Amino acid sequence: MKKLLMTGVAFATLAGTTFTAAPVAHAEDTMFVPSLSYRTGPFASGGTPLANGFADYFNMLNARDGGIGGVKIVVEECETGYNAQKGVECYESTKGKGALVYNPYSTGITLQLIPKAPVDKIPVLSMGYGLSAAAIGEKFPWTFTYPTSYWSQLSSILKYIDAEGGIKGKKIGFIYLDVGYGKEPIPLLEQLAKDQGFEIALFPVGVKEMQNQGSQWLNVRKERPDYMVMWGWGAMNATAVKEAAKIKYPLDKFIGNWWSGAHADLRSVGEDGKGYKSANFSGIGTSFPALQDVIKHVVDKGGSQVASKDLVGDVLYNRGLFNSVLIAEGIRAAQAKTGKKVITASDLRDGFEAFDLNEARLKELGLEGFTAPIKGSCKDHEGAGSVFIQQWNGKDWEKISDPIAPDTAVVRPLLEAAADQYLSDKPEWQTQTCG
């Protein structure tokens, strides 16, 4: 060891003074919502439309209504690159600015933030991803998975298969990205296979082989499953559909989850992907009045980061927008409950449990038919939302089913067991509860 063992430390101290000296850059009457986005890295094709929709809706509210309850929303993006370590860095760098809620858009980052949420008293809204067990509100008071969890979604997809001609005795192939996200629904799948009497075959796809799934699909050809269900993300989706088409697997028996059915995925496949289905919970296209407002107030005025106007209304754009709708509704509910205009993160947590996004409210928001109604409650942090099935027609997605409610009777006890298991080694969590 030589002199200045810790030159780095000195260097860092300098940096530290810059950070502490940086002024908090927003005035009294705004609320701050950080957006953990990923416009770079291997999953940028999914992250970009999500971040665009997320920011555009809030900007539309600011431009059209002057914010929520007269308070403007400041959205600040922090680039995570879908990387858990950078995600935590973003969390730490933005939480001091009065962040109301975190939307990590990555199961890996969500898992890191769940234990931090009750300590920092900032809710995590992992909209349809993250830890399924977080749907149990009494056990996870600070985490929300509106509109439904992965497990509930899987039960909806299986219900759809069941309605198409019975699931008993069938063989269901499950192709998934071999990370936390893809493995998440497997325990439920195994349980349901036992209960409902179908067979399963698992086909993991490693992150490195996302674009080279030849061997997995060779196995699919060998196993001949009656249906294929996919838990994919990013480049994996397009490759899987292409490979399925190549081995002449009937695409109308191939159903992806809600992260496996975006325009960005299927545009590159085009006509070959015709017939492929996926789950979804946010409306397709721009025919909704709220979307028109976004175009009028934000996109046409150059306030959006979308590359072209055609991309507004894409599946993932609308998903990001829907995320903002949920937060906006939560903020409104919190404002109504507390009587304050500028709410805090823990007020928003209460707001998430109090909001009621029913048909009438959706119509008021200009989102009639956009999604199934969701009602927040202390007990149920997935809001009993439903998914519908959409199908790729070669050029665009078409909604082909009504909302399918999850099989709550089956899923809920399993979720509770998973929540108990999660809590079993966290004594400090045993005492907390919602409401």
The single-letter code of the amino acid at 165 is: G
Tell me which of 30, 112, 219, 292 binds another protein, using CB under 8 A.
Answer: 112
Number of shown-chain residues binding another protein (CB under 8 A)? 65
Segment near another protein (CB under 8 A); pick from 1-9, 153-161, 231-239, 248-256: 1-9
Token pair listed for 41? 């890295």
Q: Is 302 in the site for another protein (CB under 8 A)?
A: no
Q: Is 423 in the site for another protein (CB under 8 A)?
A: no
Q: Is 3 in the site for another protein (CB under 8 A)?
A: yes
Q: Is 6 in the site for another protein (CB under 8 A)?
A: yes
Scan residues 403-422 and list those touching another protein (CB under 8 A).
418, 422
Tell me which of 20, 27, 168, 409 binds another protein, using CB under 8 A.
Answer: 20
Between CA 374 and CA 119 the distance in angstroms is 27
Distances 144 to 122, 226, 378 between C-alpha atoms, Å: 11, 34, 10
Between CA 119 and CA 107 the distance in angstroms is 20
Distances 259 to 106, 298, 423 between C-alpha atoms, Å: 11, 26, 28
Q: Is 336 in the site for another protein (CB under 8 A)?
A: no
Q: Is 13 in the site for another protein (CB under 8 A)?
A: yes
Angle between the N-to-C axes of helices 214-223 and 235-246, in degrees from 0 to 180, rounded to the nearest 10: 50
Cβ closer to another protein: 79 or 243?
79
Q: Shortest approach of another protein to residue 93 CB, angstroms?
A: 5
Between CA 399 and CA 325 the distance in angstroms is 21
Residue 89, C-beta contacts closer than 8 angstroms, at least 6 positions apart = none
Cβ closer to another protein: 178 or 265?
178
Q: Is 10 in the site for another protein (CB under 8 A)?
A: yes
Scan residues 153-192 and list those touching another protein (CB under 8 A).
178-180, 183-184, 186-187
Cβ closer to another protein: 110 or 196?
110
Q: Is 139 in the site for another protein (CB under 8 A)?
A: no
Give the length of the chain.
435
- Please give the full DSSP string across 172-239, using - where no structure is assigned: EEEEEETTHHHHTTHHHHHHHHHHHT-EEEEEEE-GGGTT--HHHHHHHHHH--SEEEEE--THHHHH
Distances 233 to 46, 68, 70, 262 between C-alpha atoms, Å: 8, 33, 38, 10
| Residue 406 and residue 386 in contact, taking contact as beta carbons nearer than 8 Å | yes
Q: Shortest approach of another protein to residue 7 CB, angstroms?
A: 6
Cβ closer to another protein: 125 or 389?
125
Q: Shortest approach of another protein to residue 205 CB, angstroms?
A: 12
DSSP assignment letter at 24:
P
The site for another protein (CB under 8 A) is made up of: 1-13, 15-16, 18-22, 25, 37, 39-40, 76-79, 81, 83-85, 88-89, 92-93, 95-96, 107-108, 111-112, 114-116, 118-119, 131-133, 178-180, 183-184, 186-187, 207, 305, 418, 422, 425-428
